[in-house]
Amino acid sequence: MNILVCITHVPDTTSRIAFTENNTKFDKNGVQFIIGPYDDYALARAVELKEANGGKVTVLNVGKAETEPTLRKALAIGADEAIRVNAFPSDSYFVAKQIADVAKQGEYDLILMGRESIDFNGGMVHGMVGELLGLPSFSPVMVLEVEGNSAKITREIEGGKEKLEVNLPFVAGCQEPIAEWKIPNMRGIMSARTKPLNVVEPTDNTKLTEIAQYELPAPKGAVKMIDADNVEELVNLLKNEAKVI
């Protein structure tokens, strides 16, 4: 089984976020970067499928050289080789196009990724990749079982869960509890140093969107205590100050 896992290089959720250049650039100073948490689930399931069925797991990231430690961590977790598309991932379509062009060269049985990245939370790339490749795409996938040339999946839908059976290949955006996160052991860390990490140039520079400006959430206001009998004041504050009704 030949599996491609697409991973993001994102700030740790505990990082303090700031912007520079009139709020048009993300300030990376002091920020710890990690594999996107949803991508971690996709990678863990891919490694489990490889261990159960044999085959190969390739991890792919669209990013500059600074993302290579993240790719090396993925190799330490159990991926066999890594590919880095040497470009900044500034647009969902651009990223999807690079993934699709790499996938066309690899004849992959499965293309897995997280349901969304935790920096932009777009949740669009898996659908775009499927469209560009002419493959079905599913998200968010919570259960993935492969049997021969088909797979049984369970995904979350409005108000419940949907169980499907689909032929390989396809694209899946993954989330918990598809697998348990894997932590690299010493053997994995040592072997990751010698596993291949190939750098390729982007196939084109087409971008459909541009970031105009970043904006931090408004700071939390002070708590206001309202007497339990004063419903009129509570409604007034919720409507005119909090603007939630």
pLDDT digits (tens, 9 = 90+) for 109-135: 999 999 998 888 888 999 999 999 999
- Provide mean pLDDT across the span 147-175: 93
Please name the residue that has the structure tokens 């600074």: 66
CA dist 194 and 151 (Å) reads: 33
Q: 66-80 as b/e, with b when 16 or more CB fall inside 10 Å? A: ebbebbbbbbbbbbb
Percent of the chain surpassing pLDDT 70: 100
Q: Which is nearest to 209 in space by CA: 62, 125, 128, 94?
A: 94
Mean residue pLDDT of the chain comes to 91
Answer CATH for 2-214 from 3.40.50.300, 3.90.550.10, 1.10.1740.110, 3.40.50.620: 3.40.50.620
CA dist 84 and 202 (Å) reads: 10
pLDDT score at 21: 86
Q: Six-digit token pair at 203? A: 């196939």
pLDDT digits (tens, 9 = 90+) for 10-60: 998 888 888 888 888 888 888 889 999 999 999 999 999 999 999 999 999
pLDDT score at 144: 96
Q: Which is nearest to 40 in space by CA: 59, 65, 68, 54?
A: 59
CA dist 164 and 169 (Å) reads: 14
Residue 38 phi, psi (nearest 5): -70, -35
Strand 25-26, strand 2-6: pairing:
unpaired
- pTM (two decimals): 0.84
CA dist 17 and 26 (Å) reads: 8
pLDDT digits (tens, 9 = 90+) for 73-94: 999 999 999 999 999 998 999 9
Spatial CB neighbours of 89, under 8 Å, sequence gap ≥ 6: 8, 62, 63, 95
Spatial CB neighbours of 26, under 8 Å, sequence gap ≥ 6: 17, 19, 20, 214
Q: Which comes out higher in pLDDT, residue 15 or 144? A: 144
Q: Which is nearest to 111 in space by CA: 95, 98, 97, 130?
A: 130
pLDDT score at 178: 93
CA dist 235 and 245 (Å) reads: 8
pLDDT digits (tens, 9 = 90+) for 167-215: 999 999 999 999 988 888 888 898 898 899 999 999 988 888 888 888 8
